[in-house]
Amino acid sequence: MSNYPTTRLEICSRFTSTIRFTLLSLVLLGSALFGFTNTALAESADRDKPIDLEADSVKVDDAKQISTYSGNVILTQGTLVIRADKLIVREDKEGFQHSTSLGNPTTFKQKREAKNEYMEGSAQRIEYDGRMDKVQLYTKAWVKRGEDIVHGDYIMYDANAEYAEVIGGTKSTDGSNSSGRVRAIIQPKNKKPPEPDSNKPNTTKPVAS
């Protein structure tokens, strides 16, 4: 095992697919939660951008195929930004990638393709299982797309099964965890412009005959 203190790190190439798959799953998670499918997803140009990773320190265990990035972790790839206190990346014996992002909170944000809006989310822990192609957000979790947002104590998306689930937390006795219920705010797809005020005087000049 090696331990390399650093302030700027280029992520190992064998872990690049983990971040890309995690990103895709997060974007698909937003798609499933907000009920849209045939729309542009993440910025496609991001996948060809270099992955830049900053952290205070990194530990690499080649025997177990685990890398742990700690301390103000910031991962950037194009418009994608992931922030965490700790990022753990692991490759299993079959070559599947797994990652755990920890923080108070850990967050992600990425611009949507051909749209001036972002897909973003937050939780205390975000886990990605490359074998199952499943992403899970734990504790104080929320996912936002544009002005649409969903809150829950647990948010999950299974890409293979195309299945999403949101679970509310248990209401605490001290009232610190609000109602413990799932909450979603979804804007109308086609907002109508505001109606003109009929009480205002008509200032339109008459057309000359």
Q: Is residue 135 situated within a structural domain?
A: yes
Mean pLDDT of the chain: 75
pLDDT for residue 72 is more than 50: yes
Q: Domain limits at 62?
A: 2-185
- How many domains is the chain built from? 1
Residues 151 and 182: beta-carbon distance below 8 Å: yes
Q: Is residue 43 situated within a structural domain?
A: yes
When pLDDT is cut at 50, 70 and 90, the band that residue 107 belongs to is very high
Q: Is residue 103 situated within a structural domain?
A: yes
Q: Is residue 207 situated within a structural domain?
A: no
Closest CA to 43 of 105, 97, 118, 94: 118
Q: Is residue 209 situated within a structural domain?
A: no
Place of tokens 């490759």: 91
The per-residue pLDDT for 53 is 86
Residues in contact with 161: Cβ distance below 8 Å, sequence separation at least 6, in sequence order: none
Q: Tell me, what CATH number does 81's domain have? A: 2.60.450.10
The per-residue pLDDT for 140 is 93
Q: Is residue 206 situated within a structural domain?
A: no
pLDDT for residue 103 is more than 90: yes
Q: Is residue 197 situated within a structural domain?
A: no
